[in-house]
Amino acid sequence: MSGKKAALHACGKLLLPCCLLAFHSTGVLAQTEAFKECVLELMESAASDVTVGDIRETCMAAEQPVAPAASAEPAAVPEAHKSAIDRRLAMEGATEVVPFVMTPHKPNYIIYSYNFKDYVNPRANPQPDETEPNKHSEVDFQVSIKFPVWRNMFNTKTHLFAAYTNRSFWQVFDHNDSSPFRETDHEPELWLSHRTRWKMFGLTNRLIQAGFVHQSNGRSGEVSRSWNRVYANMIFERGNFYFGLKPWLRIQEDSEDDDNPDIEDYLGYFEFQGIYNRNKSNYGLFFRNTLKDGYRGAVQLDWGFPVHDHLRGYVQYFYGYGESLIDYNNKVNKLGIGIKLTDWL
């Protein structure tokens, strides 16, 4: 065993000071501030059965080898570690080995929103027999978490994940009806994710995913809404631009059990999502379309920006169909502002 490998092997059984000393002496790891902070945080909070090898792999985005420094000059940061996707994957790996920490899936946020559309949809009210329209102003929030079911399946770069996303629409200003929740949509999900670095047309394909998702508002009778889909998702990057293309296929139900047989005519068969990441701010575009029947669909614009530490400001604009399941066939024109606890990148 070489001196460098022996140092790394011994490092797995020592405490943090010895590990950092060994890392410095071998020169095997790129010495970036982000890497040092990652190691420090994990060594302080990781479970006792987590090895330094696990932590090192997490902090260095496991699949990327790091070459030894060729000279006394500081080692250059590998291109992979300049990517926002790599940073997110490394941070997700870090939370997975820390007890009592849940890993975010989709963004987690809470916003005050205003719907500029003036329509009456009694089915969307908490009491279906009411005819009074909903308030234009409400509070929207989303909670989304995930966890790894099986990492490195069969010693490959393919991982199995499960997730749950809750999105709620709270009529907090409707004091006459005791400020009810107008709608709450539930979205459990199971998918395979494979990490790649395939180059094509100047783009780098980072993730290929395939999964199953169920979406429901958990209600019964005339206000029940639900559907099941299988999907594929390909995520690309180029510089500070990141985008994904996600087509899906609905799993058909028996006609007597189908609460919303025409949902595809409004939510379509795919979605496109793009993000531009610059100076710790994210500018997002979300788009879906039926590509037929009047080109129904939706567009959403996002802006997430740092405010203080991990707290981020958030501005969201949505126009189109399917903001919530109860309103899948009603057009919404909505602007919201609030805070984001976690972002895509």
Active site amino acids: 214, 216
Could you tell me the CA-to-CA distances from 240 to 8, 84, 85, 195, 227 in Å, in that order?
A: 34, 8, 10, 19, 34
Distance CA 203, CA 209 (A): 17
- Which residues, 6+ apart, have CB-to-CB distance to 310 below 8 Å? 341
Helix (H) or strand (E) holding 189: strand 181-200
- Which residues, 6+ apart, have CB-to-CB distance to 309 below 8 Å? none
Q: Which two tokens stand for residue 53?
A: 């090898």
Helix (H) or strand (E) holding 147: strand 137-150
Query: 321: how many CB neighbours lie within 10 A of its CB?
Result: 20
Q: Which two tokens stand for residue 19?
A: 């590990």
Q: Please provide the distance, in angstroms rounded to a whole number, between the alpha carbons at the two ends of the chain.
A: 39
> Of the candidates 190, 192, 187, which has an alpha carbon nearest to the alpha carbon of residue 162?
190
Using DSSP's 3-state secondary structure scheme, residue 80 falls into: helix
